[in-house]
Chains A and B, each alone.
Chain A
């Protein structure tokens, strides 16, 4: 049985794939200081992950995939992981990362002086260090700038080609045969990082993760932050290559905390209308599919319709419409499950019988004993 777990980190992302063979792939890391407060609904991510690793008798993740460098995807991560490029980020119970996955943009982005100690800069140094060392790293896409950077560092593209995966390729570190999983890379593709010098947010990692258990396949569309134009490009390119199969999903992690920008730049009054190709992507949902929104609760209230920042109720309405249309199951919000008071990690089990949402941790007693009780007076 494989697992896909989404952690309640408010408007941000952290999810983990645990394979049947024990390998762990963590996507993004957003630790909220406020989550350490037991009265706070958001999870204390550091403690949660540490405990999970302890139970599994591990001190490392097989893969840490940083989908892009925005703070809501890496917050406090440089305090948690062991970084190889500098001693000060080592030891003291820091968690090791065997293989770091980053989009090329994250390795190349420039920063201002003020940003020197920003976490994305620290990760940039780490990624650059690993690429120079030639191990423990995978870079997604190879824009011209990457080649230039390599040359500047006295390296050739050829010597690092095995560490680079382009859109349209399957990540070589995993296979259906040996791990029961493959990661098909949809994004970033060169157009986006090479389109001028603007290495933007929308160049984040997007995979179709395909699980296989006893011949039964389950597809998970893992989208970091992205916008509708990127998604349209993905659909267009994938279709052009005759890879429509790679657009199917049984599980869809909707981009950018349920922002309407992932559907249409126009939010709409009651419901966002997806751009034609985004709509096509949504219609690739399979019967019984789930959509996960890694975000704060999305209530259907009058105020919610006025709200500027994501999550957008109009976007939710759109997703739910298409979910119904493909006979999907449920639109699940990380900060709503099983309740808004104390959300728990969403744990999807992937077996030969398909997808199910693990409900065992949801009893009142389990929830109470899994975290400190509110302070008594």
Chain B
């Protein structure tokens, strides 16, 4: 090859397919022979221990896709080396053999004096080879060259310099790296995880002395450098220093200072380490006077220990007693000593710990909607799953409230681990979510108490100040108590007893419709929708089991639990961005896994105080009653009221208004409610709602021109209801519907 090309590999004298021994290189040889834009120039090979380990097809590649005057500096014709290894697991390499081939994005890092290595594929070879053909490989080379020349070959998620050869170490930087790097009290220490991966964390400088370190690690924050073009990898310290100097930062002086700081006047034993690591924080600005846009991080490895490095830099001296010592500096210009310049450096892969920002970016969440305080009431199986999801997305900072502790059977569905058995659930959940991140980075709080124990000041404060309170207690009581609590906005989520359904009730942001009203409307939806019959099937006369799992025998697989947890976690997050109230129900189809979503329109609540009771109904029911009345005019009409009564809250929740049974008698002056089919209707209401909803009273209409004031007949009817219902300790409830007006009456037999 001419001087303008790197001499790489050993020449194979013949230019024939038979001169090649590796099947894949023979296939590519044939493809090159017929390809319009590739011309075979010669064959080369690589020999290790007398064995041919790889073969290289040297080709001239002509490319019409390369713009004639591209500034990157890719030529119309480039000499390329197509390298194929005898090891089938190795991805084919592509080398640009021209010595002055430009340094561009998407090149692999190569050893000193080796030709540029083009990074052609985004996926690993085991994936690529499934669709790889010699022709597609050649076309990919053309594509890489033309896209690079146009400056359009760019993928956000690809590192600028992917590692071609395996870096000896990989360092994971802690999330507070930028914050603590300049702090004199902290020193970065590296904990070895596996063979080559080190987790970095900051320790108090005073504590570090006591930690047995395997590697000395120097950490330097450079001055801001100007955004520049991509540079070739610097293979020695001198080149590295020069590259930074050209971009406006000095490295060498800072390195000397850091070495001295590490030695700390005490001297270090000669035999300490065999290697030294250097981590650089490089603030990058667009031009000399602009603000720092971002930090880049680079790490390098020296194959000498700290003492040898210090000696080469002229800051340490060999004490001839087995240790190196600090040389007091008197303002001497250390850089005049050149020994350090030729110290070889190797690149080290560096990655950053998960931060809130990266977690959100990975989940497609914008920070504006993710920074708030929440209370999650109930961290059982469902609650702990939501907590884990929301922390992995960095959505909100949460306080977990639960009074229970982890029992062995919880582990079948809870996110807790075996070692947490006996721990309080709130504490366990806090620990689990925090451990998604680097030690001490993520924050959660735990309050061990029942959720509505308002005498607990911490709890009361947490609930009242939270931007969102999510009830995952899977109880009936908590959402009803939250509905009357002073808080900003709350939601209630639960699974149905079968585990096939899940429910989200979310208050509107002004709290006009609260959890209690939403609950009543949810039952109304069960009674009036196709999905209602099956929705709560499998209940054992009581609702709110399932995810609460207090009943050890309840059978819900963790698969189903997590399907619902994921759905609910996402839906709570998305719906919270909007001010509207929400009633949504999801069902998982047993066999196919289809999830169907049913969104129930939320009506405005209507609240009426009567006789010491509060009646909660809504505009949807109001419309329904008025509609039935008007279709029956001029006659009166009526029927029964379905609902339930919360004795603690002294509240009557109206769920539905039924039309008249067929055997009812009605004329323009009166209405006598019949019985046909009624018992069955009420049984259905009870059965479909897990015995929550039942008969609560009667309603009837008044004709045109007649007020909704109870007539004498009506008063007698109400007394009758009160008397009979008193057998169950319940009040008599009666609704009269007129023209654009309703009157509720309640009568109780006083004990």
Interface, chain A (partner B; CB < 8 A):
216, 250, 286-289, 329-330, 338, 349, 351, 353-359, 363
Contacts and interface: CB of A to CB of B under 8 A. Distances in A.
B498 interface: no
Contacts of B68: 250, 286-289, 329, 353-356
Contacts of B149: 353, 356
Contacts of A355: 67-68
Interface stretch (B69-77, B162-170, B198-206, B277-285): B69-77
Contact of B139 (A288, A356, A363): A363
Contacts of A358: 65
A349 B68 CA distance: 10
> Chain B interface: which size bin?
10 to 19
Given A356-B146, A359-B146, A216 B69 contact: yes
B64 interface: yes
Contact of A357 (B65, B69, B139): B65
A354 B69 contact: yes
Contacts of A356: 64-68, 146, 149-150
A329 B76 contact: yes
26 contacts: A216-B69, A287-B68, A288-B68, A288-B69, A288-B76, A330-B62, A330-B64, A338-B36, A349-B67, A351-B67, A351-B150, A353-B68, A353-B150, A353-B151, A354-B70, A356-B64, A356-B65, A356-B67, A356-B146, A356-B149, A356-B150, A357-B65, A358-B65, A359-B64, A359-B142, A359-B143
A336 to B, nearest CB: 10
Given A355-B68, A356-B68, 10 more contacts: A286-B68, A288-B69, A329-B68, A329-B76, A354-B67, A354-B69, A356-B66, A357-B65, A359-B142, A363-B139
B69 A353 contact: yes
Nearest to B75: A288
Shortest beta-carbon contacts, A-B, top 7: A288-B68, A354-B68, A354-B69, A357-B64, A353-B67, A353-B70, A356-B67
A289 B67 CA distance: 11
A359 B76 CA distance: 14
B67 A329 contact: no
B65 to A, nearest CB: 5
Contacts of A288: 68-69, 76
Contacts of A351: 67, 150
B395 to A, nearest CB: 40
Nearest to A290: B64
Determine chain B's interface SS by DSSP, over half rule: loop
A338 B149 CA distance: 21
Contacts of B76: 288, 329
Interface string B136-155: 00010011001001110000
A359 B66 CA distance: 10
Contacts, number: 48
Interface of B: 36, 62, 64-71, 76, 139, 142-143, 146, 149-151
A182 to B, nearest CB: 19
Nearest to A336: B36
Contacts of B65: 356-359
Contacts of A216: 69
A329 B64 contact: yes
Contacts of B150: 351, 353, 356
A286 B68 CA distance: 10
A13 B69 CA distance: 28
Nearest to A360: B65
Contacts of B64: 329-330, 356-357, 359
Contacts of B69: 216, 288, 353-354
Contacts of A286: 68
Given A329-B64, A330-B64, A359-B64, A353 B142 contact: no
Residue among A287, A354, A358 facing the most chain B CB atoms (10 A cut-off): A354
A319 B146 CA distance: 26
Nearest to B77: A329
A288 B77 CA distance: 11
Nearest to B139: A363
A330 B63 CA distance: 10
Nearest to A350: B67
Contacts of B142: 359
Contact of A353 (B36, B71, B139, B143): B71
Nearest to A351: B67
Residue among A329, A351, A356, A359 facing the most chain B CB atoms (10 A cut-off): A356
Residue among A216, A329, A353 facing the most chain B CB atoms (10 A cut-off): A353
Contacts of A289: 68
Residue among B68, B71, B146, B149 facing the most chain A CB atoms (10 A cut-off): B68
Nearest to A327: B76
A338 to B, nearest CB: 8
Contacts of A353: 67-71, 149-151
A332 to B, nearest CB: 8
Contacts of A359: 64-65, 142-143, 146
Residue among B36, B64, B150 facing the most chain A CB atoms (10 A cut-off): B64
Contacts of B66: 356
A357 B36 CA distance: 14
A180 to B, nearest CB: 16
A119 B64 CA distance: 37
Contacts of A363: 139
B234 to A, nearest CB: 29
B73 to A, nearest CB: 11
A356 B149 CA distance: 10
A356 B146 CA distance: 9
Contacts of A357: 64-65
A75 B666 CA distance: 86
A334 to B, nearest CB: 14
Nearest to B65: A359
A88 to B, nearest CB: 44
Nearest to A346: B64
Contacts of B143: 359
Contacts of B36: 338
Contacts of A349: 67
A355 B62 CA distance: 14
A367 to B, nearest CB: 13
Residue among A287, A330, A351 facing the most chain B CB atoms (10 A cut-off): A351
Contacts of B70: 353-354
Nearest to A339: B36
A151 B146 CA distance: 56
B568 to A, nearest CB: 43
Contacts of A329: 64, 68, 76
A358 B68 CA distance: 12
A189 to B, nearest CB: 31
A355 B68 CA distance: 5
Nearest to B66: A356
A216 B71 CA distance: 12
Residue among A288, A330, A338 facing the most chain B CB atoms (10 A cut-off): A288
A252 to B, nearest CB: 13
A362 to B, nearest CB: 8
Residue among A289, A349, A359 facing the most chain B CB atoms (10 A cut-off): A359
A68 to B, nearest CB: 30
A324 B495 CA distance: 77
Contacts of B139: 363
A356 B67 CA distance: 4
Residue among B36, B67, B71, B143 facing the most chain A CB atoms (10 A cut-off): B67
B151 to A, nearest CB: 8
Contacts of B146: 356, 359
A363 B133 CA distance: 13
A287 B149 CA distance: 17
Nearest to A286: B68
A210 to B, nearest CB: 15
B145 to A, nearest CB: 11
B34 to A, nearest CB: 11
Contacts of A287: 68
A47 B359 CA distance: 50
Contacts of A338: 36
A359 B65 CA distance: 6
